[in-house]
Structure 1
Amino acid sequence: MITRRTLLGGLAAGAAAASGLTLAGRALGTPAPDGRATAGLPLHIVNNTGEYANSSVWVYIVGNDGTQQVHVTPDGELRPVAVADNGPDGFTDYAIPLAGSGATTLQLPRMSGRIYTALGGKLKFKAVEDGNGKAALAYPAGWVASDPNYDVLHDCAEFTYNSGGMYCNTTMVDMFSVPLAIGLSGAKEQTTGTLKDGARAKVFSDVKGAEGFDRLVVGDTRVIAPGHGLDSGLFAGDHLAPAIDEAWSAYASKDLKVTTNAGTFTGRVVGGKLSFTGPGTVAFDKPSTRDVLFCDGTLAAPNDGTLGPVAAILGAALNRSTLTTQAAQPTTDPTAFYRERLTNHYARAMHAATRDGKAYGFAFDDVAGFASYIEDGAPKELTLTLTPF
């Protein structure tokens, strides 16, 4: 299975100097280059917001074709990003308008990237040169107050479409704003991401009411993920420290079992490190709150089959507050998640909001299959629905 982490190939999170924009610096996966010679996959955009007319909604399809950063035109053509695409205002206009009424059908070429939706105003993508002199896009960063897209209501879904099939997800890893659902038709019919009735407002309310999370709510525009909130001074950098300390203390005197596809690892905290033996030898320094929220730093997960899977499971357990109480990981019973006072209440609210209980509230939310992710090896069409507010 291609998870969101392998699907994206590590979308760079560095901010472009002086602009505050997020720069997509690395490839969003590696779709087959031969995709440009094949027919596109029908992509249907359905506006069911009940708040915005089709004329006030724009779509952007941006990403990577395996060799370069690209965008999709309204007629389904895959074009490379070019610095010359910046207009007099300094930004590109890659917007795809919706049809006058009803669903809008586009052709999705083979590529990997994001489908952005913007409501009430267009997004400003800036074409820049990356460190290698290649054209790249500075993506919207709705969690940065100085970003030119900060006041625009927008959100995105992620996908890879290649010779192996379609792999896609809704994501709240960075923020949550526009309720989106994806439907994938192919070998079977699948949907994910659909919110319960009234759930958008409840997400805002639940996050605002959680201790330490209230400043992550930006009016009625978006809720910022706590990791980005931490970097912006809106969330305490040591918020999860007591819970992390408690877990490290617990496993100084008992074993932690972590089972991956490679087998079962047995861990103990020795000399401050959580060290495992088993199919391989791996060790982790005690993570910070930021490491847990971003699933990075000491919890970074390389695609190596040993360290990576263990790191992902530890990161998920810390976000879901099950690590101390469950000595066999991963925990697969969702009723055990988010039960502690110190937990990722943002992810908790997102999972409570969806009809299927699945969401991408943090980067390792795919652990044990709780992510709003679907795939199909024989896709026929993809539908992205902007659901009611």
Structure 2
Amino acid sequence: MLTVKVLNRTNGAYPDSKVYWTFNGQTHSIADQPYLDMPANSAGRMYFHLGTPTSKYNDFVEFTVGPDQFNGNTTRVDAFVLKIAMRLHAADGFDQEVGESRKVFAESRAATFARFKAAVPAEFDHLAQGLDKILSPGGDPSFRPGGRYADYFATYTTAANSSEILGCAGPLSGKPDECAQLNRHVTAAQANDRGAYYQAAPANFYAKFWHDNAIDGRAYGFPYDDVNAQSTYVSHQNPQYLLVAVGF
């Protein structure tokens, strides 16, 4: 059994009665039920919603809970909607946090979106959809064949088109190292050098932004972002509790 507690970190934008979680057919506000005892052999996603249980402001964490082990992560592979961080604590004293940084949680939603648009090149700033969400370029039509940025990676490689690179699809499916190198704009020799990542265009600057704004620089910005342990994946035996912070 793993105890999960959901924390309201919306800086007063939503009261506890308007912060909801959904898992395994249950939906509750954290005013009603902030804790969930998650049994072994649970798997899937736990969703979080602000305002109403069907709000457009919703996001999730992914995990599996084995008989004596937790494996899970936050993710930006599809989009950013809510600020999410989680902290896993285990019986042997293991304690690890992943997700957006405290600085990101402390700032306003408008500030986060404005900083994203200022940080990324022109090909990526349209991914910020008002203040509703920031789309991942991997699923954005603009980078697909026929889209205005379909040739974004064309001068860098002919191994795959831009959409396939950003989504690690097509010829890059099942090739995590190659896809990670292309997204990060590094050579095979630089593959383990975090300081070399995203230093030149073309690169996945959406992913770069989330790494720059994450605890320990770890984010899941594209499907194979776990190469060289750069993602928010956390795994440990005998977990005791999981805290999930939900921000706006």
Report the TM range for the smaller structure's normalisation: 0.7 to 0.9
Superposed, which structure 2 residues align to 1:333-372 within 5 Å?
333-372=193-232
The equivalent of 2:42 in structure 1 is 111
Q: Which has the greater radius of gyration?
A: 1
CA, structure 1 residues 327+162, in 2 after alignment: closer, same or farther (shift >3 Å)?
Answer: closer
Q: Does 1:223 align with 2:134?
A: yes
Q: Which amino acid aligns with 1:177?
A: V
- Deviation, structure 1 residue 354: 1.1
SS in 1 for 2:156: helix
Q: Which amino acid aligns with 1:315?
A: C
1:125-145 Cα distance to aligned partner (Å, 9 max, x none) = xxxxxxxxxxxxxxxxxxxxx
CA, structure 1 residues 207+342, in 2 after alignment: closer, same or farther (shift >3 Å)?
Answer: farther
Q: Which amino acid aligns with 1:45?
A: V
Q: Which runs of 5+ in 1 are unaligned?
A: 1-39, 62-70, 74-94, 124-148, 246-285, 302-310
Q: Which amino acid aligns with 2:170?
A: G
Whole-Å Cα distance in 2 between the matches of residues 346 and 202 of structure 1? 16
The equivalent of 1:208 in structure 2 is 117
Identity of aligned residues (%): 30
SS in 1 for 2:164: helix
Q: Does 1:320 align with 2:192?
A: no
Q: Which amino acid aligns with 2:195?
A: T
Q: Does 1:97 align with 2:97?
A: no
CA, structure 1 residues 353+219, in 2 after alignment: closer, same or farther (shift >3 Å)?
Answer: same
Whole-Å Cα distance in 2 between the matches of residues 122 and 213 of structure 1? 30
Whole-Å Cα distance in 1 between the matches of residues 141 and 157 of structure 2? 17
Q: Which amino acid aligns with 2:103?
A: D
Superposed, which structure 2 residues align to 1:60-75 within 5 Å?
60-61=22-23, 71-73=24-26
SS in 2 for 1:55: helix
The equivalent of 2:16 in structure 1 is 54
1:322-366 Cα distance to aligned partner (Å, 9 max, x none) = 1xxx3426x122111111121111001000011310000001110
TM-score after normalising by structure 2: 0.87
The equivalent of 1:240 in structure 2 is 153
SS in 2 for 1:243: coil
TM-score after normalising by structure 1: 0.57
- Deviation, structure 1 residue 164: 4.7
Q: Which amino acid aligns with 1:294?
A: G
How big is the alpha-carbon RMSD for the aligned residues of Structure 1 and Structure 2? 2.2
| Bigger relative contact order (CA 8 A; separation at least 6) | 2
Superposed, which structure 2 residues align to 1:368-383 within 5 Å?
368-383=228-243
Whole-Å Cα distance in 2 between the matches of residues 320 and 354 of structure 1? 16
The equivalent of 1:289 in structure 2 is 162
1:199-240 Cα distance to aligned partner (Å, 9 max, x none) = 665652344242211211111121000011127978622222
1:23-63 Cα distance to aligned partner (Å, 9 max, x none) = xxxxxxxxxxxxxxxxx3111111121111111111112xx
- Deviation, structure 1 residue 72: 4.2
**1:196 and 1:353 in contact (8 A); partners too:** no
Whole-Å Cα distance in 1 between the matches of residues 201 and 132 of structure 2? 26
Whole-Å Cα distance in 2 between the matches of residues 56 and 364 of structure 1? 34
**1:215 and 1:235 in contact (8 A); partners too:** no
From 44, 53, 57, the equivalent of 1:122 is 53
- Deviation, structure 1 residue 154: 1.2
Whole-Å Cα distance in 2 between the matches of residues 235 and 314 of structure 1? 25
SS in 2 for 1:212: helix
Q: Which runs of 5+ in 2 are unaligned?
A: none
